[in-house]
Amino acid sequence: MSIIHLLPEHIANQIAAGEVIQRPASVVKELMENAIDAHAKSVQLNVKDAGKTLIQVVDDGDGMSPEDAVKCFQRHATSKLKSAEDLFRLKTKGFRGEALASVASIAHVSMRTKKNDAETGTHIEVEGNSIKTNEQIVCSKGTVFEVKNLFYNVPARRNFLKSESIEFGHIRDEFERVALAHPDIKFSLHHNGQEIYQLQAGVLRMRVASIFGRNSNERLVPIEEQTNIVSIKGFLGKPDAAKKTRGEQFFFVNDRFFKDSYFHHAITKAFDGMISEKHYPSYCIYLDVDPAKIDVNIHPTKTEIKFEEDRFIYSILLSSVRQALGKYNIFPTLDFETETSFDVPSSFRKTEPIEPQITVDPSFNPFHTQKNTAGSSGNGFSKALKNEGFGQTMPSSSDWEQFYQIEEESSSSDGLISTQTIGFQDDTFQGNYLIHDRYIFSPTKSGLLVVDIKRAKWRILYTELIGKFIHQALESQQLLFPMEKEVSKMEMDLWLSHEKLLKQLGFHCEYDQETIFIHGVPTVLPENSVNDCIDSLLADLQDRDIDQGDVAHHLVRRLTQNASREAVIRQAEEAQALIEALFQCEEHTLAPNGKKIMHTVLLTDIASNF
């Protein structure tokens, strides 16, 4: 009996495609999640050489029929999703139906699987997406996956893998996340035959303590809160146990690990003043939310999740962490009683929650001077704010246009808010975007999204090119007249010793003693940036801090940085396309240099200024 069916193309497209397998740890995550989805009670993970040689996952779950054992390797083959609506009711970890197909295309995969009621099991071996072995065998219930020689057919990708300890660190992270989400399942982890974890099924506290490490049990403070929108449970590390390294910080929603800097902020705010600077609180927090109110699909590897009620959850988190710390006499109770406006009064709990309200007089225009305060209810700012926070429709561009016009007028008349208005004079209003030469401003439900155009462009180009670069040379554009670049002897040596990589990047050159003649440059690089780009590449090549194994990454980083310097956006469509492309990148919050690409000015922050 088969339970697997193919997803129609349009749904497959709705599920944003992404590179599923970046490193051995990605395989570990996918295989372990499949075992959980198959209702396993015990999951064993064995890896060799940080997963480069072997990743084996043994489960005692449902197993597969002989027919499904073949089907599961096809792209978009899943038993977990039938229609797009199911996306909003998801209880399983997987649903894209692309993990096994992806793994099978870049590794040698062997699988043994048997359903509980079947007499025999099926043994499948796949290489390069074609089935090499398909036979009936005797085996026990459940599934054993073996992934060998990862990236055997993508040597560049294999070469990009980091040291064994780093790659194993990633594997361990994934293992811990899955194990923390499922205390009722038994897990083990072995690396090169050595036991790293042996976790018995049990209560949550036991699981958290065994992952947080020795003596951590007495450092744990429980946290618990129930509301109609979210249930929270979990453990906090006592403030005096805060660590210098950001390690033990886990959020789960509906048993799925996720990362969220906004919620993280709520926790650190609750710990404010209790831990010294440069220390991080430990926490392991589980949220339970109606699956229809979250979107797990915005991130290809599903570690970022969009919450419909994020502001409410933020305030509940803040107050319940404070309460938990207060209860254990860690946080002075007095302080706890002086609740901030963000906190939710206890009478609120278990009743229908109301979103934190911001009291704004919609007719009040902060940018109007006295002379035009009266009767100014039709102005852009209030309309924009009203539409955003309290109305149904998005503010129109003219709303924002008016908002800034008023701002300019009033600044010139009384100079009171002049600093805020500088630089906006030349901005253009396009649909729902305000386009400034460096930033795009776009109203969102929770406030005003500000996107740094150059950094966004840098991230997009980098993500695109690094993916290409490891498989093939980047496109190069022939110059009509070769550029000549005078360099020192040392620079020439540096350039020549990396010539192959630089050529792969798109620089085609000839050489004289101290001159580089550049005939071809990377297509992405504007001609007037070539000189600067070469200078910065040479500087990078001299930088002793750059690990030789990492040079290629740095070169692509530098090239794309130079290529994005001149980025300009003029039209709404361009702004839209840029933002969409940015969100397609797995990492879309930080530029390749680790700096923030976007920032949301929250309505609550705006309101607190008035």
Give residues in contact with ligand ADP (CB under 6 A): 4, 30, 34-35, 37-38, 59, 61-64, 72, 77-80, 94-100, 143
Nearer to ligand ADP, 65 or 282 (CB): 65
Chain residue whose CB lies nearest Mg ion: 94
**Does 78 sit near Mg ion (CB under 5 A)?**
no
Of 492, 566, 486, nearest to 524 by C-alpha is 566
Q: In angstroms, what is the minimal distance from the CB of 4 to ligand ADP? A: 5
Question: What does the angle CA 466 – CA 469 – CA 472 come to, to the nearest 5 degrees?
Answer: 155
Nearer to ligand ADP, 94 or 239 (CB): 94
Find which of ligand ADP, Mg ion, none residue 35 binds, CB within 5 to 8 Å per kind.
ligand ADP
Nearer to ligand ADP, 65 or 562 (CB): 65
Contacts of 237 (CB under 8 A, 6+ apart): 212, 216, 219, 220, 221, 243, 248, 281, 282, 283
What the block records as the tokens of 6 is: 């193919």
Number of residues that bind Mg ion (CB under 5 A): 3
Phi and psi, residue 432, nearest 5°: -90, 15
Measured distance CA(73)–CA(78) in Å, rounded = 9
Phi and psi, residue 316, nearest 5°: -65, -40
Q: In angstroms, what is the minimal distance from the CB of 97 to ligand ADP? A: 4
Find which of ligand ADP, Mg ion, none residue 80 binds, CB within 5 to 8 Å per kind.
ligand ADP
Q: In angstroms, what is the minimal distance from the CB of 114 to Mg ion? A: 19
Find which of ligand ADP, Mg ion, none residue 491 binds, CB within 5 to 8 Å per kind.
none
Find which of ligand ADP, Mg ion, none residue 61 binds, CB within 5 to 8 Å per kind.
ligand ADP
Nearer to Mg ion, 35 or 460 (CB): 35
Percent of the chain that is helix, strand, coil (3-state, to 5): 40, 25, 35
**Does 99 sit near Mg ion (CB under 5 A)?**
yes
Nearer to Mg ion, 34 or 227 (CB): 34
Find which of Mg ion, ligand ADP, none residue 280 binds, CB within 5 to 8 Å per kind.
none
Find which of Mg ion, ligand ADP, none residue 59 binds, CB within 5 to 8 Å per kind.
ligand ADP
Of 266, 261, 258, nearest to 287 by C-alpha is 258
Of 388, 353, 362, nearest to 601 by C-alpha is 388
Measured distance CA(259)–CA(252) in Å, rounded = 8
Find which of Mg ion, ligand ADP, none residue 78 binds, CB within 5 to 8 Å per kind.
ligand ADP
Measured distance CA(226)–CA(234) in Å, rounded = 12
Q: Residue 469: count other Cβ atoms within 10 Å of its Cβ.
A: 22
Q: In angstroms, what is the minimal distance from the CB of 27 to ligand ADP? A: 11
Nearer to ligand ADP, 52 or 302 (CB): 302
**Secondary structure (3-state) at 468:** helix
Q: Residue 290: count other Cβ atoms within 10 Å of its Cβ.
A: 14
Among 24, 66, 94, 395, binds Mg ion (CB under 5 A): 94
Nearer to Mg ion, 92 or 421 (CB): 92
Measured distance CA(337)–CA(339) in Å, rounded = 5
Measured distance CA(3)–CA(16) in Å, rounded = 24
Q: How far, in Å, are 487, 541, 559 from residue 548 at the CA level?
A: 22, 9, 17
Partners of 476 in beta bridges: 522
Q: In angstroms, what is the minimal distance from the CB of 148 to ligand ADP? A: 17
Measured distance CA(492)–CA(545) in Å, rounded = 20
Find which of ligand ADP, Mg ion, none residue 96 binds, CB within 5 to 8 Å per kind.
ligand ADP
Interface with Mg ion by CB under 5 A: which range of 96-104, 173-181, 214-222, 236-244? Answer: 96-104
Residue 431 burial (C-beta neighbours within 10 Å; 0-12, 13-18, 19+)? middle
Place of tokens 């099978």: 104
Nearer to ligand ADP, 103 or 316 (CB): 103
Nearer to ligand ADP, 86 or 540 (CB): 86
Nearer to ligand ADP, 100 or 185 (CB): 100
**Does 556 sit near Mg ion (CB under 5 A)?**
no
Q: In angstroms, what is the minimal distance from the CB of 169 to ligand ADP? A: 24
Q: In angstroms, what is the minimal distance from the CB of 74 to ligand ADP? A: 9
Find which of ligand ADP, Mg ion, none residue 522 binds, CB within 5 to 8 Å per kind.
none
The number of CA neighbours under 13 Å toward the Cβ of 201 is 9
Q: In angstroms, what is the minimal distance from the CB of 121 to ligand ADP? A: 12
Nearer to ligand ADP, 98 or 388 (CB): 98
8 A C-beta contact, residue 174 and residue 31: no
Find which of Mg ion, ligand ADP, none residue 541 binds, CB within 5 to 8 Å per kind.
none
What the block records as the tokens of 320 is: 């319940």
Using CB under 5 A, which residues numbered 25 to 64 contact Mg ion? 34
Q: How far, in Å, are 323, 334, 372 from residue 338 at the CA level?
A: 12, 7, 38
Q: In angstroms, what is the minimal distance from the CB of 288 to ligand ADP? A: 22
Q: In angstroms, what is the minimal distance from the CB of 289 to ligand ADP? A: 21
Find which of ligand ADP, Mg ion, none residue 538 binds, CB within 5 to 8 Å per kind.
none
By DSSP bridging, strand 42-48 and strand 186-191 are parallel
Q: In angstroms, what is the minimal distance from the CB of 87 to ligand ADP? A: 12
Nearer to ligand ADP, 4 or 534 (CB): 4
Interface with Mg ion by CB under 5 A: which range of 90-98, 168-176, 268-276, 301-309? Answer: 90-98
What does DSSP assign to residue 564?
A: H
Q: How far, in Å, are 4, 317, 366, 408, 609 from residue 382 at the CA level?
A: 53, 30, 9, 16, 15
Find which of ligand ADP, Mg ion, none residue 146 binds, CB within 5 to 8 Å per kind.
none
Find which of Mg ion, ligand ADP, none residue 225 binds, CB within 5 to 8 Å per kind.
none
Where on the chain is the footprint of Mg ion (CB under 5 A)? 34, 94, 99
